Amino acid sequence: MAEPTIITVAITGSVPRKKDNPAVPVEPEEQIESTQRAFEAGAALAHIHVRDKDENPSSDPGRFLRVKEGVMKHCPGMIIQFSTGGRGRAGAERWQPLLHDPDMASLTTGSVNFPASIYENTPQLIEEMAKVMLERDIKPEIEVFDLAMLYNAHNMAEKGLLRRPIHCQFVMGIPNALPAREKTLDFLISELRELEPDATWAAMGISRWQIVVNEWCLKRGGHLRTGLEDNIYRAKGVLATGNADLVRLAADLCAKYGRRPATPAEARMILKLRPAT
């Protein structure tokens, strides 16, 4: 019996714009439709950023709510994860959308350099966001952009700021942060297993690394992330026609490693989430 693997679709993100790929969904209606197609192609978890009318990253809780409600309606049971990511958003406003109670939210447990900026997460802000998630029973996805973030997450779990089992996403291939190296992934997984034996994990690769890292994860029993946030191409130089296009590539890879895409109900059990409402 093939083991289920959770496919996350990161539908929009902060960086790609319609001029890079017209399939990048920006308006909430486009985001809902794109998520539904990805859901039908095998994605069980949607990672969501919203943009304003100029395509800039936004923290508008109303926009997050519109997308959440649309996804709940059209993708029954799908796990909804809000990004609390920075770019253009400061301090407390980053967690305001959590007051709309998504199933999960991203939590980056440290700061890191991006290609031309600092992704800043002060210890105070990390703790503040973790407390909001604990209080509201929102499961964090720990975004590991650099090694210290893994140890910080473990320390937070020790202090009771994160509920166990934790779930980590290893982010590989962003210039100035963790490289996309298979040996690096092996080290991250072995450290995670030692420190947090019951943790679940996924990894993602940026741009051309997306499909490569999908395969590394399948080989090692991890979960997958794909989507236009991380990569706008379905193949070398060929633009993806939508998020579903990329989900299909990941889903098609599963059988080669004795895996299959998890249903939303299975994904909720694997991540120890509350059942869908």
Residue numbers at the binding site for Zn ion (CB under 5 A): 83
Nearest CB to Zn ion, comparing residues 83 and 226 = 83
Comparing every residue's Cβ against Zn ion, the nearest one is: 83
**Minimum CB–partner distance for residue 75 and Zn ion (Å):** 18
Nearest CB to Zn ion, comparing residues 243 and 259 = 243
Nearest CB to Zn ion, comparing residues 5 and 12 = 12
Distance (Å) of CA 106 to CA 46, 48, 140, 234, 265: 11, 10, 6, 25, 20
**Minimum CB–partner distance for residue 10 and Zn ion (Å):** 5
Nearest CB to Zn ion, comparing residues 83 and 243 = 83
Identify which of 98, 10, 70, 97 has the alpha carbon closest to the alpha carbon of residue 46: 10
Q: Helix or strand or coil: residue 124?
A: helix
CA distance 223 to 250: 11
Nearest CB to Zn ion, comparing residues 138 and 259 = 138
Specify the DSSP element, H or E, that contains 173.
Answer: none
Q: Helix or strand or coil: residue 213?
A: helix
CA distance 202 to 149: 15
**Minimum CB–partner distance for residue 3 and Zn ion (Å):** 26
Beta bridge partners of 200: 167
**Minimum CB–partner distance for residue 230 and Zn ion (Å):** 8
Nearest CB to Zn ion, comparing residues 104 and 218 = 104
Q: Residue-wise over 149-171: b if at least 16 C-beta within 10 A, else e?
A: bbebbbebbeeebbeeebbbbbb
Beta bridge partners of 233: 239
